[in-house]
Amino acid sequence: MSASLQRGVNAFKEVIDAPVAAFFASCVHCGLCAESCLFYTETGDPQYTPIHKLEPLRRVWQQEYTLLGRLAKLVGLAKPVTDAELAAWSPLVYDSCSMCGRCSMVCPVGNDITLMIRKMREGMAAAGHAPEGLVTATQRSIQSGSPAGVKWVTVQAQIKRMQKQFGIDIPVNLENADYLVLMSSWEILNYPEYLGSVGRILDNAGATWTLSEHAYEATNSGIQIGVSDLARELVGRIVKAAEDLKVKCVISPECGHAYTALRWEGPNLMGRRFGFEVKHILEVLDDLRRSGRLKLKGSIDKPLTYHDPCQISRRGGVHQQPRALLRQIAPQFREMSDPGVMNWCCGGGGGVSANERAEPLRTIAFKRKKAQIEKLGVNTVVTSCANCRVVIEEALEHYHMNIELLGLTELVAEHLAED
Amino acid sequence: MSGLELLTWARGPGLVLAVGICIFGVILRLIEILALGRQADLASPRQNSTGSGWRTIFTRSLPPPGMLRRAPLTYLGGYVFHIGMAIAVFFFVPHIELFRGLLGLRWPGLPNPLVDIASIAAIIALLALLVGRLVDPVKRLLTNAGDWLAWALTFVPLITGYSAYHHLFENYTLTLAVHIVSVELLLVLLPFSKLFHVFSLFIARWYNGEISGRKGVAS
Amino acid sequence: MNRPADNTLRIALSDAGISRRDFLGFCATLAAAYALPASSVIVIAAALENASRTSVIWLSFQECTGCTESLTRSHTPTIEGLILEQVSLDYHHTLQAASGEAAERAREESMRANAGKYLLVVDGSVPLGNPGYSTIAGVSNFDMLMETAKGAAAVIAVGTCAAYGGLPAAQPNPTGAVPVSQLIKDKPVINVPGCPPIPVVITGVLAHFLTFGTLPELDGRGRPTIFYGESIHDRCYRRPSYDQGKFAESFDDEGARKGWCLFKLGCKGPVTHNACATTKWNNGVSFPIQSGHGCLGCAEPDFWDMGSFYKALSMPATPVRKAVAGAAAAGVGAGVAVAFANRAKKAAAKAAHETVKVEDLTKKP
């Protein structure tokens, strides 16, 4: 066994816990997870059956943590996990799974398959079987602070632009602020209006907020590639900055997995609770709306729909807030099929969008979203995840679809009733 | 060995052995699973998640929106089989007498013709699911020897029970004995095959519901 | 046979005050049982009436005389009893007048005179343990059986003891009791099980031999198919209530009074093959289930060891509680052992964890 394989298998052994054992023990091979997975429904290829993507991890569970499996291994009846097998499984674990969590909602025996994919990636990455694109993004994140290699100077340039465009002051490294605002690389590069919008809304609500020179990037490639050691380092930067600045709340930007990384995995990665709250921007907006500090005016006079980012809605629990906000400004808001926690992924979550190898598959997988949008017949789609936005924009281009795509925070800011 | 000798063995030592191994295995496997433990979730829950695990134990028995249409055979076959089997197992009067003998509990049974219909439905559903497994590419990919074994372990008690009740074979006593022995085989292998899902799915669903519930998602 | 002998059944019947109508009724029952055409009733009647005396030797081993009682049923002369008397019962140590050496001599003489033609009837099982467990005139049952069977045309094992070992063979079978069929392999052995067997079944077999000179059709167990082909349950008049799910829960409840199925009270009718439900007992008066008690299964092998008479057939025949407790304890023990091993393995994996650095991600195997 090569050293890297040994590390991978060791990681498999580390991540298997009672839930994983209960999940594997319960699988009846009914195949319903395939029917819930857009990588299967859009390709018809059975190898994309979610539970099948976990086969090597399942065998490690069976061989290491069940009595019969241990006995079988003892007498040489167990089929060991090999490098070749993990190499073959790499596209299944990384390219054909956006960790959207739909299968986890559908599995009749209650298996959280997505959770297991997350765990399996720990072993895959440790064994050196993560795809190149994700490896590069992770390297950049660790080395330069951003998966896209965005440096502080770029942020500074955007700060200046936004201050001018929105007529606001953007505080940096302000201590004791109510909120620390984070961004994803995509927001810094493609959608800087997010920063201006958040600033305007918070200023208007009378909240104090700040950016941090040391933690402006919210994304976490460590989560996507499945290396908790690296994910911890990335989360740790934010935690340190937030605690150094003594902010009350850190706002996770319009980015799905950043929210998962910071809100749900963060404390577990760090091994402690944080001295501050973590909220998604939509939660903050809805809180402000409910407390009367966010007043909106006017409305968008066209039919539009909302695309639920998986990590925010299904895996994050933020699915009522966007609807409450949209209802205020979009009288013609209409739900897509399978809205909310049963949404269909854009196809690019869970690191798929950073993985060039997965691009053709991701484009095919988008047919699901395409069909949904076409069936609904609206020309405007609102979402709240910069990664979804990029993936959908690329796919709309590919399929020559004339659809307008908006960020919800920007939309809210545009309808701000300023005092 | 004659039918009656086999029957007497199956009702006596065979039953003791089968029930013993089953209980041994179930307890062993439950401990094996639960003792692996899990780390306490340090992320503060969005809402009080008490009960979300228990809720999912029930709600996960229903198909999520749109799924019934995507996989009608799996769902309907699964329902008809499980419900039919449950009626046959728990509401056929002789079976209730068995549970009374084992547990000291009793409950009213159903008239035999109703149990008969339930058994036939379960048998047909199981056959349909078998065909589904042979035809559907996803199921074929997932299927291993354990699936065929589990299918047979479930099917044989149903078909022998049906045969015994209807005297499909000349030798009723032998048919009955084979029926009981087949159930005993099922009991013996239940903890060590995928049939263990009858116990573990409650744990799996509970974890799923609990994990989602903390995030404010009813799974 | 042109001229009936003086001691034919016809005379015996009229002497006993049994009408010819009753006798023909009995013959009709037999004909129906054997599935013979109506015309054969006369043939059977004539054959029985005129049959010359067939020599019968009746050996009683480990038994209770219940089988003989069943057949002769004291006081009331019956057609069945008379048929038995009609055969030349040369040896039957309960019924014969002679005793001691005279009795044994009668057996030996009959064996000699009717070599190859006599019928041997056996009730009771044969102890193979110690020959002294059961002897007649100092001769062990085994020796007497083998000696007497040698010249017999056929052997009829009457009662569950002779047919299957019966009560003497019940666990733990202290005498090493075995059925006749286990010892006699070179000639037909007809098993007529029941504890006791129904009288008409015993005489029915004799009547068949007397009428046709052959043995009736036997099943795989050596039983006459006509009497043992169906289970009590199949022919039980309470069967409809079984199918409807109507069961007596105790011997004195509403269901019992209404004559509902006795399955829950331990009736072994479903696995017992005998003619009780059709021929009934005491001249067709009743049978156990009709009297309100479940079938004990007395015509089946090892009925004594099939668990409680009062436990439903589907209930455990032996107590499982102790085994369950033991298995549960063993399960906990094994589970804890595996749990410790698993946790140790996982702890070792955690200890062996090397922090993954970005450089590691590109390390190709």
Burial of C67 (0-12, 13-18, 19+ CB in 10 A): buried
* Stretch A99-104: mean pLDDT: 97
B172 and C314: CB-CB below 8 Å? no
According to DSSP, residue C289 is labeled: T
* Nearest chain B CA: its distance from A419 CA (Å): 32
Summarised one tens digit per residue, pLDDT across range C213-268 is: 788 899 888 999 989 988 999 999 999 999 888 999 999 999 999 999 999 999 99
Residues C128 and C255 in one domain: no
* Stretch B145-174: mean pLDDT: 93
| Distance from C-alpha of C312 to C-alpha of C306, rounded to nearest angstrom | 11
* Closest CB to B64 among A65, A115, A342: A342
Mean pLDDT over all residues of chain A?
96
C255: domain CATH number is 4.10.480.10
C327 and B24: CB-CB below 8 Å? yes
**Residue to test with chain C: of A13, A61, A232, most C Cβ within 10 A:** A13
Structure token digits, residue C266? 């331990």
Q: Do domains A3-129 and A304-414 have the same CATH topology?
A: no
Residue B172 touches chain C, beta carbons under 8 Å: yes
Domain ranges (residues) in chain A: 3-129, 134-290, 304-414
Residue C259 lies in a domain: yes
Which residue, among C134, C133, C127, has the nearest Cα to C176 in the 3D structure?
C127
Chain B from 72 to 111: CB within 8 A of any C CB: 93-95, 97-98, 100-102, 109-111
C185, C210, C228 - which closes a domain: C228
C228, C256, C284 - which closes a domain: C228
**Closest residue of B to A261, CA-based?**
B43
* Stretch A273-277: mean pLDDT: 96
What is the CB neighbour count within 10 angstroms for residue A279? 20
- Give residue C2's pLDDT: 39
| Distance from C-alpha of B138 to C-alpha of A46, rounded to nearest angstrom | 5
Residue C351 pLDDT level (bands cut at 50, 70, 90): very high
- Give residue C85's pLDDT: 66
Summarised one tens digit per residue, pLDDT across range C268-312 is: 999 999 999 998 888 788 999 999 999 999 999 889 888 889 999
Summarised one tens digit per residue, pLDDT across range A362-393 is: 999 999 999 999 999 999 999 999 999 999 99
Residues C148 and C268 in one domain: no
Residues C296 and C196 in one domain: no
| Distance from C-alpha of B89 to C-alpha of C225, rounded to nearest angstrom | 34
Q: Where are the alpha helices (DSSP H) in C289-320?
A: none
Structure-model confidence comparison of residues A32 and B49, the more confident one:
A32
C305, C321, C341 - which closes a domain: C305
Residue C356 lies in a domain: no
A34 and B61: CB-CB below 8 Å? no
Distance of CA A89 to the CA centre of its chain: 22
Structure token digits, residue C253? 């409840």
Residue A419 pLDDT level (bands cut at 50, 70, 90): low
The complex's ipTM?
Answer: 0.96
Distance of CA A205 to the CA centre of its chain: 28
Residues C204 and C71 in one domain: yes
- In this model, does residue C98 exceed pLDDT 90? no
User: From chain C, which residues contact B within 8 Å (Cβ)?
Assistant: 221, 231, 234, 242-245, 247, 263-264, 270-271, 300-302, 305-307, 311-318, 320, 323-324, 326-328, 330-332, 334-336, 338-339, 342-343, 346
Phi, psi for B48 (deg, rounded to 5): -65, 115
* Closest CB to A68 among B192, B212, B216: B192
Residues C92 and C141 in one domain: yes
CB of C313 closer than 8 Å to CB of C307: no
Structure-model confidence comparison of residues B104 and A94, the more confident one:
A94
CB of B219 closer than 8 Å to CB of A123: no
- Give residue C79's pLDDT: 64
According to DSSP, residue B13 is labeled: I
| Count of domains forming chain C | 2
Summarised one tens digit per residue, pLDDT across range B9-59 is: 999 999 999 999 999 999 999 999 999 999 999 999 998 888 999 999 999
* Close Cβ partners of C6 (under 8 Å, ≥ 6 residues apart): none
Let me know the angle formed at the C-alpha of C334 by C329 and C336, rounded to the nearest 5 degrees.
Answer: 95
Phi, psi for C123 (deg, rounded to 5): -120, 145
Residue C52 pLDDT level (bands cut at 50, 70, 90): low
Q: CATH assignment of A134-290, given 1.20.1050, 3.30.2390, 1.10.1760, 1.20.120?
A: 1.20.1050
**Closest residue of C to A221, CA-based?**
C358
Q: Looking at beta carbons, which residues of chain A come within 8 Å of B26?
A: none
**Closest residue of A to B54, CA-based?**
A110
CB of A219 closer than 8 Å to CB of A146: yes
| Distance from C-alpha of C92 to C-alpha of C107, rounded to nearest angstrom | 9
Residues paired with C59 in a beta bridge: C122
Q: To the nearest whole percent, how much of chain A has pLDDT over 90?
A: 98
Residue B15 touches chain C, beta carbons under 8 Å: yes
Structure token digits, residue A259? 């929210």
Q: Quick one: fold of A3-129?
A: Fumarate Reductase Iron-sulfur Protein; Chain B, domain 2 (1.10.1060)
Per-residue b or e along A357-386, where b marks 16 or more CB atoms closer than 10 Å to that residue's CB: bbbebbbbbbbbbbebbeebebebbbbbbb
Q: Looking at beta carbons, which residues of chain A come within 8 Å of B136?
A: 31
Structure-model confidence comparison of residues C364 and C329, the more confident one:
C329
Q: To the nearest whole percent, how much of chain B has pLDDT over 70?
A: 100
Q: To the nearest whole percent, how much of chain C has pLDDT over 70?
A: 93
Listed range (A333-347, A359-373, C92-106, C219-233) with the worst mean pLDDT: C92-106
Residue C190 lies in a domain: yes
Mean pLDDT over all residues of chain C?
87
B100 and C245: CB-CB below 8 Å? no
Summarised one tens digit per residue, pLDDT across range A212-254 is: 999 999 999 999 999 999 999 999 999 999 999 999 999 999 9
* Nearest chain B CA: its distance from C203 CA (Å): 26
DSSP assignment string, C210-259: HHHSSPPPB-TTS-BHHHHSSBHHHH-TTHHHHHTT-B-SSTTSHHHHTT
- Give residue A350's pLDDT: 96
Residue A54 pLDDT level (bands cut at 50, 70, 90): very high
Q: Domains of chain B (ranges plus CATH)?
A: 3-16+52-214 (1.20.950)
B215 and A317: CB-CB below 8 Å? yes
Residue C148 lies in a domain: yes
- Give residue C91's pLDDT: 87
Domain range holding C15?
Answer: 9-228
- Give residue A274's pLDDT: 96
Report which secondary-structure segment, H or E, holds A136.
Answer: helix A132-144
Residue C351 touches chain A, beta carbons under 8 Å: no
C355 and A229: CB-CB below 8 Å? yes
| Distance from C-alpha of B80 to C-alpha of B163, rounded to nearest angstrom | 20
| Distance from C-alpha of C123 to C-alpha of C179, rounded to nearest angstrom | 10
Residue C219 lies in a domain: yes
- In this model, does residue A400 exceed pLDDT 90? yes
Structure token digits, residue B206? 């509970």
Highest mean pLDDT of the ranges A12-21, C32-41, C203-212: A12-21
Beta strands C139-140 and C135-136: pairing type?
antiparallel
DSSP assignment string, A42-103: TT--GGG-GGGGGHHHHHHHHHHHSHHHHHHHHTT-S----HHHHHHHHIIIIIS-----HH
Secondary-structure breakdown of chain B: helix, strand, coil percentages, each rounded to the nearest 5: 75, 0, 25
Residue C36 lies in a domain: yes
- In this model, does residue C314 exceed pLDDT 70? yes
- Give residue C51's pLDDT: 67
Block residue for tokens 């109703």: B114
Q: Looking at beta carbons, which residues of chain B come within 8 Å of C346?
A: 36
CB of C273 closer than 8 Å to CB of C197: no
Burial of A153 (0-12, 13-18, 19+ CB in 10 A): exposed
Residues C210 and C245 in one domain: no
Residue C312 lies in a domain: no
CB of B213 closer than 8 Å to CB of B61: no
Report which secondary-structure segment, H or E, holds C202.
Answer: helix C199-212
Residues C42 and C77 in one domain: yes
- In this model, does residue C80 exceed pLDDT 70? no
- In this model, does residue C4 exceed pLDDT 60? no
Q: Looking at beta carbons, which residues of chain B come within 8 Å of C330?
A: 24
- Give residue C364's pLDDT: 64
Summarised one tens digit per residue, pLDDT across range A15-26 is: 999 999 999 999
Residue C334 lies in a domain: no
- Give residue C1's pLDDT: 35
* Nearest chain B CA: its distance from A341 CA (Å): 7
Quick one: CA torsion of A174, A180, A185, A188, rounded to 10 degrees?
-60
C45: domain CATH number is 3.40.50.700
CATH number attached to the domain at A304-414: 3.40.50
Structure-model confidence comparison of residues A34 and C138, the more confident one:
A34
Residue C334 pLDDT level (bands cut at 50, 70, 90): very high
Residues C148 and C24 in one domain: yes
Strand, helix or coil for residue C177: strand
- In this model, does residue A275 exceed pLDDT 50? yes
Listed range (A412-416, B213-217, C34-38) with the worst mean pLDDT: C34-38
Let me know the angle formed at the C-alpha of B131 by B127 and B136, rounded to the nearest 5 degrees.
Answer: 145
- In this model, does residue B171 exceed pLDDT 60? yes
Q: To the nearest whole percent, how much of chain A has pLDDT over 70?
A: 100
- Give residue C6's pLDDT: 54
Beta strands C88-92 and C139-140: pairing type?
unpaired
B15 and C317: CB-CB below 8 Å? yes
Summarised one tens digit per residue, pLDDT across range A114-156 is: 999 999 999 999 999 999 999 999 999 999 989 988 999 999 9
- In this model, does residue A353 exceed pLDDT 90? yes
B20 and C300: CB-CB below 8 Å? no
Listed range (A118-122, A207-211, B118-122, C170-174) with the worst mean pLDDT: C170-174
- In this model, does residue C3 exceed pLDDT 70? no
* Stretch A4-16: mean pLDDT: 96
